[in-house]
Amino acid sequence: MSVTTLHRPTHRDALSALSAAFERGDMVTVFGRCTVEYDGRAASSLGRGDRLLILKPDGTALVHTDEQRTPVNWQPPGSEHRAAVRDGRLRVRSERENPDERLDVRFEQVHQVSALPVTGGRTVDVYGSEEDLRQRILDDPDLVEPGFQPEATERETAAGPVDVFGHDSEGRPVVVELKRRRVGPDAAGQLGRYVEALEREFPDGVEARGVLVAPSVTDRARELLAEKGLAFVAVDPPAATANGPDGEASAASEGEDG
Amino acid sequence: MSVTTLHRPTHRDALSALSAAFERGDMVTVFGRCTVEYDGRAASSLGRGDRLLILKPDGTALVHTDEQRTPVNWQPPGSEHRAAVRDGRLRVRSERENPDERLDVRFEQVHQVSALPVTGGRTVDVYGSEEDLRQRILDDPDLVEPGFQPEATERETAAGPVDVFGHDSEGRPVVVELKRRRVGPDAAGQLGRYVEALEREFPDGVEARGVLVAPSVTDRARELLAEKGLAFVAVDPPAATANGPDGEASAASEGEDG
DNA sequence: CAGTAGATATCGCCT
DNA sequence: AGGCGATGTCTACTG
């Protein structure tokens, strides 16, 4: 069976639909005028307005307005959704423990309820992440510097795992920290911690070197690198491939000034 | 007028609905079997499956499966949505510049299209954020240490703005870094940079102190703080208030093992 | 379970 | 437009 939709249902009918959808493990959308309360790691209150509530069978809850990529309120996976009618109004509560937090959506009016049985793939392959950059370095270590010899990835140190560890042409240990995008002061600090941790592993007098590999670096980060005696190597950012044109009939919506 | 819904529409009818919704500035949901391609800062490919596509009038696009809080694909606000029918199939493309990236959703089957006119508030008041912690410190500076005198918030330094700046009971400058939750090594590094930047502002010999204020700290971060001669002060995390019970009739869905 | 760091992070503020 | 840091970040991975 496919999607079930109720148009302007009564609050009780909306509850029945939610109940059945929960039972089937469907994904649910509720569009309606509501208020939202959250309490847990922080607390928040959202006044009356039209929002889209999404309830996933894995326990995720999302409340979206007509703006922003980030939901205005949410509950992470693993929460337990409950729906009820109180004082004649639909209420949805999503709750979890550890941390203890709950989301309450109280509907004044339910414009639409839909139950969506979902099948098919959920995992997406992403290219151009840090792991791809690592592979580029391993394939051609000279990108770091001539004569660089990579020996391990994710090598453990007291300060945490190092992206790439190896030795330079003169036999000195080298720590390589990879970033897929322009880096700020935090990355310089991270690399510095790794280098310090490594030097403590070796006998006194052995100096470890640190190399930050990224598309570019901010001024402040460059200063920090210089202070700590760390190197920076620029690499091309992951490239965006061009794509084809549009179709026959079309419609457009512009986000900025449309 | 209120929500418009098409149940199992033809691809052309779906396009008409999208076109009209874009024109009105409605929020749109499309549920259907589709593939998704993304190319931009990274690139990704998502095979056939049922997903919920949300198109917001501000240019946001979200593709959700039945799992996870994070959309499997998306486009940030400011993008331009276009819909078209090609080879008899609905295609939605959302595209933006700076950075140049695009999202392509190709539908094999459209289960449902809805256009949702949205009104009402979108801004949520959040309590328990770092700003609240700052206020607690300013109201009672002794929480940092007896005799602490706060003098400025967001005080600028060469390393960036310091959360709270002041002097201790002996007249030494103090940098306070606030975190609303348990902190790791990054926060220690951040505070260390601020203290170093401050000491450079003052004549040689003047020592600035650094205090990290947070609910708790990891072992590694504690070591880093000790190395850098920085202090840690524990404060209560923002408290969660209890809330009322459920309603008359109810339905439940459990995320984990339900 | 906690710790650690990546992410197409997003978002807001300020220069 | 870029830099910088907070976020109820979320998410995966490792010990």
Domains of chain A: 4-116 (2.70.180.20), 130-234 (3.40.1350.10)
Indicate the pLDDT class of residue A23, thresholds 50, 70 and 90.
very high
> What is the C-alpha to C-alpha distance for residues A43 and A51, in angstroms, rounded to an integer?
19
Question: pLDDT tens digits, residue range A117-148?
Answer: 999 888 999 999 999 999 999 999 999 999 99
How buried is A242 (Cβ within 10 angstroms: 0-12 exposed, 13-18 middle, 19+ buried)? exposed
Token couple for A34: 């509501």
The reply to whether the CB atom of residue A185 sits less than 7 A from any atom in nucleic acid chain D is yes
Query: Which nucleotide has its C1' atom closest to residue B70's CA?
Result: D10
Residue B168 has pLDDT above 50, yes or no: yes
- Listing DSSP states for chain B in one string gives ---EEEES--HHHHHHHHHHHHHHT-EEEEEEEEEEEEESSSEEEEEEEEEEEEE-TTS-EEEE-SS-SS-SEEE-TT-EEEEEEETTEEEEEEEETTTTEEEEEEEEEEEEEEEE---B----EEESSHHHHHHHHHH-GGGTSTT-EEEEEEE--TT--EEEEEE-TTS-EEEEEE-SS-B-HHHHHHHHHHHHHHHHHSPTTPPPEEEEEES-B-HHHHHHHHHHT-EEEE-PPPPPPP-----SEEEEEESS--
Question: pLDDT tens digits, residue range B102-137?
Answer: 999 999 999 999 999 999 888 999 999 999 999 999
Q: Which residue is nearest to nucleotide C1 (CA to C1')?
A: A98
Residues of chain A contacting residue B55, judged by C-beta atoms under 8 Å apart: 253
Residue B244 has pLDDT above 90, yes or no: no
User: Is the distance from CB of B6 to CB of B13 less than 8 angstroms?
Assistant: yes
> What is the C-alpha to C-alpha distance for residues A112 and A92, in angstroms, rounded to an integer?
14
Asked if B74 is an interface residue toward chain A (Cβ–Cβ < 8 A), one would say yes
| Mean pLDDT value across residues B226-252 | 78
Residue type, A174: V
Residue A247 has pLDDT above 60, yes or no: no
The reply to whether the CB atom of residue A131 sits less than 7 A from any atom in nucleic acid chain C is yes
| Percentage of chain B exceeding pLDDT 70 | 95
> What is the C-alpha to C-alpha distance for residues B18 and B29, in angstroms, rounded to an integer?
9
Count of pairs with CB atoms under 8 A, one residue in A, one in B:
349
